[in-house]
Every structure is written in C-alpha cells, then in structure tokens.
Amino acid sequence: MNRTATRVALFIAFAFALDWGLVFVYDALGGKWVMPNNIILGVVYMFGPLAAAIIVQKAIYKEPVVGPLGVSFRLNRWFLVAWLLPPLIAIAIFGVSLLFPDVRYASDPMQILERFRSAMTPEQFERARAQAASLPLHPFWLALLQGLIAGATVNAVAGFGEELGWRGFLQGELSPLGFWKSSALIGLIWGFWHAPLILKGHNYPQHPVAGVFLMAAWCVLLAPLLGYVRLRAKSVMAAAVMHGTVNGTFGLSIMLLQGGNDLLVGFNGLAGFIVLAVANLGIFAYERFLAKTPAPGGSPRTPA
C-alpha cells in the first residue's frame, strides 16, 4: 500500500470509528433522537473528520495542519459565492418541488409548522405555534436571515469540523484522481459516514434505511460544489462557510410546501438531486467557457 492509500485508509478508519463509536455510546447510555439532544449529538459528530485529519496529519505523520490542509482566512469573492449560493439552491429546490403531484405552496405560518411537527415534542410544537403567531416577519424571511447569519458564524465553525477532513485532508490526498473522480469518491465516503444518524431518522425520517444510500448519492452531488469553492477560494474555510450555510438554509427548500415526502421534496429529495445535478453542470460550463484560468489544485474542465 503506497503512502497516499495508507493516509486515506487511516483517515477513514479514524473518522468512522470516532463518530460511529460516538453514536454507539450514546445509544448504550439510553440516548433518544429528540430535540435538543439530536442537535447536540449532530454537532459533536461533525468534528470527527477534523479530529481524524489532525491525528493522521499531525500525530502520525508529524506534518503541519494549517497550510497543507488549506486553512486560510484570506477573504476573496469565492467566500461570498460560498455564502450566497446555498439559499439560491434551496429556493430553486423549492420551485422544482412544486412541480411534483400533490405538492402545494403553503403561505400560512401554521401550515408551515406542520412540516416540522415530527421533529418536535408536543410542547415544543405548541411553543413554536405561539412564536410563529407573534412574528413581525413572514417565517421564510426570518429563516433566510437567520440561516445566512448562522451559516457564516456558528454553523461555519461546525462545518469546519467536517470540511478540514473532507475538503482539507481528503481532497488533497485524492487530487491525483482528478476533480470529478475525487469528488465522487469523497462524496461516497462522506455520505456513508452519515449512516448512524440517517438510521436514527436524520434527513430521511420516513425512509431511514433507504436514506443511507440516498444520503450517499446526495453527498456525491454536493461534494463537487464544496470542492470547487474550496479550490477557487484557496481555502477550506470557504467550504466551511458553504457547508454551514447549507445547513442554515436547508429548511427554506421545504418550509413553504405542503405534501410530498422526504424522497421527493427538499434538499435531500429528488428535487434536491435535480438542482444539484444542474449546479454540477454549471461548474463544468463555468470552468470550460467562462473561467479565465483553471481552478488551482484541480481540473473540473473535463468530465469524470
């Protein structure tokens, strides 16, 4: 086994062992998938790839972390792309979702809350109803504002927990495969890494088993967008901002909808798959016809 394969194997082993082990311990202690426990567990889970990257890069191979893994705070226009693209994608997914049968637009805030009832206890749902009735803005605009603020701040910190591993360590190690092949492989690994959370009902509460495989496919489609932003910004921090903003504006794709299910609507449903596939074509077209110079550290100009 060559050096790159060994490093990749070690990273995957540590990332999966740390986070799958975390869920195993949580279950063994009687933990339940209810708010806010599921949110806390999910946030802690996100730092497993960061720990795995540091263990392999620093503890085992005695190499620096900051420079080689792309940790740079030098801002450029690609940070703005990373911040604003996720809500645009979420809104596009909302539009595609409306094309499906039995999916309708819900303008009433009380109708909107029904979409999230399964993730709340009855007491939490009643509190949310009371809060929604007193909001000065429509919930959509408030969610957009909150998602953008969180995406560039607290969510970006949690996003960095994943991105130092996926787009910092792993993307660098797999870059000899080329942009599209490395992105697909990272997406598969990243997707199946989510398996314990998906089986608990995260993202696909109605179809947790099928959701494991759908999550892997979704990550394959999202990985090139995060990877491309990371390359163009020359910083894994831009990928962290984008990851955080995806999580922060995720709900915009479903909060104005009635009907459908987790296989069809929303970021992780068929509507999301369609929009992300088009976004990937956008990367290829931009790199092929509009970009003045190739993306550094990768070549998205040729298909996989």
Q: What is the pLDDT of residues 120-134, one digit of tens each?
A: 667 766 676 666 666
The number of folded domains in the chain is 1
* d(C-alpha 269, C-alpha 203), whole Å: 9
pLDDT-derived band at 13 (thresholds 50, 70, 90) equals: very high
Residue 159 lies in a domain: yes
Q: Does 9 have pLDDT greater than 60?
A: yes
State the residue range of the domain holding 98. 73-290
Please give the average per-residue pLDDT across 195-207, as a whole number. Answer: 94
On the 0-12 / 13-18 / 19+ scale of CB atoms within 10 A, 31 is middle
pLDDT number for residue 134: 67
Span of 34-43, 114-123, 212-221 with lowest mean pLDDT: 114-123
* d(C-alpha 263, C-alpha 112), whole Å: 19
Residue 234 lies in a domain: yes
pLDDT tens for 155-190 read 999 999 999 999 999 999 999 999 999 999 999 999
> For the chain, what is the mean pLDDT?
91
Residue 221 lies in a domain: yes
Phi, psi of 104 (to 5 degrees): -130, 160
Residue 64 lies in a domain: no
pLDDT number for residue 138: 77
Tell me the helix, strand and coil percentages in the chain, rounded to 5.
70, 0, 30
Paired residues of 258 in beta bridges: 104
Residue 45 lies in a domain: no
Q: Does 304 have pLDDT greater than 90?
A: no
pLDDT number for residue 296: 77
Residue 267 lies in a domain: yes
Residue 115 lies in a domain: yes
Residue 261 lies in a domain: yes
Q: Does 118 have pLDDT greater than 70?
A: no
